[in-house]
Structure 1
Amino acid sequence: MNQLIPTHSNESGNLLVSGRELHEFLEIGTRYNDWFTRMLEYGFTENVDFILVTQKRATNNPKNPMAEFTDHHVKIEMAKEICMIQRNEKGRQARQYFLELERKWNSPEMVIKRAHEFLERKVAALTTENLVLVQQNNELQPKASYYDMVLQNKSLLSVSKIAKDYGMSATAMNRKLYELGVQYKQGDIWLLYAKYQDKGYTQTSTHVIDADNSKVSTKWTQKGRLFIYDLLKSNGVLPMIEREVSA
């Protein structure tokens, strides 16, 4: 099937579509923001059914060449319902497209393919990151003590372990990362916003409890740990080890 509307996926394995691109395909006459607000009246929830995204784009206004505009990364499930609401041929066509896309996406072949690609990205990221960390450790003296500690640890980390480096609780660290626009909460799990996805900062895994129950958890990679370090330092928050050194 031809790609009628571009889609992408997030680290949780959800297929997403741009709300603006869906709006354009459906040939809606109403302004996008007004239309999307009306669609929300059907019970859709932010950070569950869609994610708000703010971006910059060029304009024809010389006084304001780059304007900020909002878009929404919409889950395929929500997109299908929106298409039904339109009650026209374009909506029917888009819904059939999403149904076929979903079928292919969830086929055993595609599930295995995504898992293989995920592992390849992780291996490549770890190999590259090891070289970068060594260089940074040698060149950035103010970071040396914390970077040394990170380089000695290759395992995935829970947020509580990283929080301990800063004398924080896991709850306080998650709240801080939320306030800084890094992550949002979906159900019981914290997920990265779109611009931080696919950067190798986190890894989501499923722990099977029994035949009917499982638990999904997000762990931070060493790359993600250093990302948090740089982010918090730029906001005036240092790890305990560097506070002790400076004292």
Structure 2
Amino acid sequence: MENLIPVNYDSEQPTVSARDLHEGLGIKSKYADWFKNMSAYGFTENIDYTTFSKNLENGGRIIEHIISVDMAKQICMIQRSEKGRLYRQYFLDLEKAWNTPEQVFARALRMADKTIESLKADNTALLESVERMRPKEVFADAVSASQTSILIGELAKLLRQNGIEIGQRRLFSWMRENGFLVKRRSSRNMPSQKGMEHATIYQERRT
């Protein structure tokens, strides 16, 4: 089948450029006037066609339209010309090829591949989130395991027992950086508001 006009297969249905069709049909009137007249034949924007602007090399902009093959086929019939008949038959043959079992199956496989890739991306993000939260969860579990108040050195030991390699000094630094202890010199290493709130939560978990 001769390729009369470039066809885009990226969307749910094949589409073509209305400007390419205007040129291929040899329409004498200006593109903007022609498309305005054609779209008045009962076609609906964002269903049969989409509108967008395009930058030109000279700094200007023009309005373009992407139309469905079904709309293009009907436009060709409206032209009542030999080129219109030729292009209409081209689009009819295109639709037949598009709807063959092989093409339908191929599209289903492409959709399945996109779904799999999306799920992989979601799973990767979830795993990254789990890894970010793991130190805080281990910290919470370690504190909750203590039946009384706990020294930082003892807490560091509990954390190491839970798979977090950290010493007393590094734990002090981590707690300051994460807002559990106060940073400023006058109250350095005293429990922050956040730290006290978390301590209350941990206490409730133990009771």
**What is the rounded CA distance, in whole Å, between the counterparts of 2:47 and 2:121 in structure 1?**
34
Q: Deviations over 1:110-146 (max 9, x none)?
A: 0001111222233235446765x58xx7xxxxxxxxx
- Tell whether 2:40 aligns with 1:47: no
The size of the alignment, in residue pairs, is 132
1:9 aligns to what SS in structure 2?
coil
> 2:100 is matched by which residue type in structure 1?
S
> 1:124 is matched by which residue type in structure 2?
E
Q: Deviations over 1:138-166 (max 9, x none)?
A: xxxxxxxxxx49x99xxxxxxxxxxxxxx
> 1:69 is matched by which residue type in structure 2?
I
Structure 1's unaligned 5+ residue stretches are 59-64, 138-147, 153-247
**What is the rounded CA distance, in whole Å, between the counterparts of 1:129 and 1:8 in structure 2?**
28
TM-score scaled by length of structure 1: 0.48
Q: Deviations over 1:53-84 (max 9, x none)?
A: 222232xxxxxx33221111111111111101
Structure 2's unaligned 5+ residue stretches are 134-207
- Answer with 1 or 2: which has the greater Rg: 2
> 1:68 is matched by which residue type in structure 2?
R
Q: Which one of the candidate residues 92, 97, 105 is aligned to 1:104?
A: 97
**What is the rounded CA distance, in whole Å, between the counterparts of 2:42 and 2:15 in structure 1?**
18
**What is the rounded CA distance, in whole Å, between the counterparts of 1:80 and 1:127 in structure 2?**
39
Partner residue in 2 for 1:26 = 25
Q: CA RMSD in A?
A: 2.7
C-alpha displacement at 1:52, in angstroms? 1.1
- Tell whether 2:76 aligns with 1:77: no
Q: Which one of the candidate residues 89, 99, 102 is aligned to 2:82?
A: 89
2:40 aligns to what SS in structure 1?
helix
**What is the rounded CA distance, in whole Å, between the counterparts of 1:69 and 1:129 in structure 2?**
38
Hey, which of these two has a bigger chunk of helix by percent?
2
More relative contact order, 1 or 2 (CA 8 Å, 6+ apart):
1
Q: Which one of the candidate residues 108, 115, 120 is aligned to 1:122?
A: 115
1:55 aligns to what SS in structure 2?
strand
C-alpha displacement at 1:41, in angstroms? 2.5
C-alpha displacement at 1:28, in angstroms? 0.9
TM-score scaled by length of structure 2: 0.56
Hey, which of these two has a bigger chunk of strand by percent?
1
C-alpha displacement at 1:17, in angstroms? 1.0
* Identity of matched residues, %: 41
1:1-247 alignment runs, 5 A limit: 1-11=1-11, 13-58=12-57, 65-127=58-120, 133=125, 148=129
